């Protein structure tokens, strides 16, 4: 699963500038410029590994002569004490890269692990689990990749690639029908017919209004209690895609899926994951 090379390169440049600044003064003081070291990445928590592509790019950036031997691939389950990879690199460069590699891989692995846990709960059911835009600013492209590695799927990249009429749009534009009509007019005027439309509804009245207008692709059923969610799915009866959203946890995601919705969007995949503990230790 690959990221955009330019986006990744620019991210690494910014991250190294933030951390290294004008120079790693401790390493400059006590590490000879020509010294080379070997280090191993150790797993200290169990979970799903993610972020190796970033690690490779970081080491290549700080030392083009560095070499990385990977023992465990992205998407694999790791256990405490596993050696994920060994890297041979200029020692000063290695120490510049260390924290960036660990921070990103720990964060991505935490997201992949939680995504995998959600996926496991519903893997035998015909439902797709989606992430949301509740991501760390400027890290969305990496966090979305981690979601995919964990077995779930991505929703919108941003505000620009799908019409998603949410509660604030509805309230600001005068109701469900008005909001949908205005979006349809905008889409037609700007020749954007290939952009799909999702409308969020908060109750059965808004659901009825959305269905009456139609010409949309998906109805997001926001914070519906399970009996009401099941009733709403029955009302839609396959005329539009259905999506459940709001308050979805590992404890209730299977029950939500069993209502028959096509999609479940889960902000927790990215905003509530716990980073996996990893460490990078020089061994030679």
Spatial distance between the Cα atoms of 206 and 228, rounded to a whole number of angstroms: 13
284 is catalytic: no
Angle at which helices 204-213 and 176-189 pack, to 10 degrees? 30
CA 140 → CA 53, 56, 111, 276, distances in Å? 15, 19, 12, 18
Q: Which string of b and e fits 239-270 if b means at least 16 CB within 10 Å?
A: ebbbbbbbebeeeebeebbebbbbbbbbbbbb
- Tracing tokens 């908060």 back to the chain, one arrives at 202
Catalytic pick among 53, 131, 222, 262:
222
**Which H/E stretch holds residue 78?**
strand 77-78
Catalytic pick among 98, 200, 206, 262:
200
CA 229 → CA 27, 204, 225, distances in Å? 58, 9, 6
166 is catalytic: yes
Catalytic pick among 38, 40, 133, 166:
166
Catalytic pick among 40, 56, 134, 202:
134
277 is catalytic: no
Assess contact for 66 and 55: CB atoms under 8 A. no
Spatial distance between the Cα atoms of 113 and 119, rounded to a whole number of angstroms: 10
Beta bridge partners of 197: 163
Catalytic pick among 38, 44, 56, 99:
99
Assess contact for 110 and 274: CB atoms under 8 A. yes
144 is catalytic: no
- Residue 180: both structure tokens together: 């949908």
The CA angle 120-121-127, to the nearest 5 degrees, is 95
143 is catalytic: no
Catalytic residues: 99, 134, 166, 200, 222
């Amino acid at each position: 699963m690959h990221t955009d090379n330019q986006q990744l390169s620019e991210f690494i440049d910014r991250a190294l500038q933030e951390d290294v600044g004008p120079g790693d003064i401790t390493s400059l003081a006590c590490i000879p410029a020509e010294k080379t070291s070997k280090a191993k990445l150790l797993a200290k928590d169990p979970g799903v590994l993610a972020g190796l592509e970033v690690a490779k790019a970081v080491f290549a950036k700080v030392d083009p002569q560095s070499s990385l031997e990977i023992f465990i691939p992205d998407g694999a389950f790791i256990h405490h004490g596993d050696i994920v990879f060994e890297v041979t690199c200029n020692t000063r460069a290695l120490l510049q890269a260390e924290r960036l590699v660990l921070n990103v891989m720990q964060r991505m692995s935490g997201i992949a692990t939680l995504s995998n846990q959600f996926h496991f709960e519903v893997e035998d059911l015909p439902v797709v689990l989606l992430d949301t835009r509740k991501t760390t600013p400027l890290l969305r492209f990496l966090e979305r990749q981690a979601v995919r590695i964990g077995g779930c799927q991505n929703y919108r990249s941003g505000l620009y690639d799908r019409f998603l009429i949410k509660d604030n749009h509805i309230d600001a534009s005068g109701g469900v029908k008005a909001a949908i009509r205005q979006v349809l007019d905008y889409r037609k005027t700007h020749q954007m017919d290939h952009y799909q439309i999702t409308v969020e509804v908060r109750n059965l009245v808004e659901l009825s209004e959305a269905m009456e207008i139609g010409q949309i692709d998906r109805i997001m059923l926001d914070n519906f209690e399970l009996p009401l969610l099941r009733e709403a799915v029955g009302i839609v009866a396959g005329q539009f895609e259905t999506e459940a959203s709001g308050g979805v946890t590992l404890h209730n995601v299977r029950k939500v899926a069993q209502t028959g919705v096509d999609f479940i969007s889960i902000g927790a995949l990215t905003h509530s994951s716990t980073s996996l503990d990893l460490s990078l230790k020089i061994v030679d």
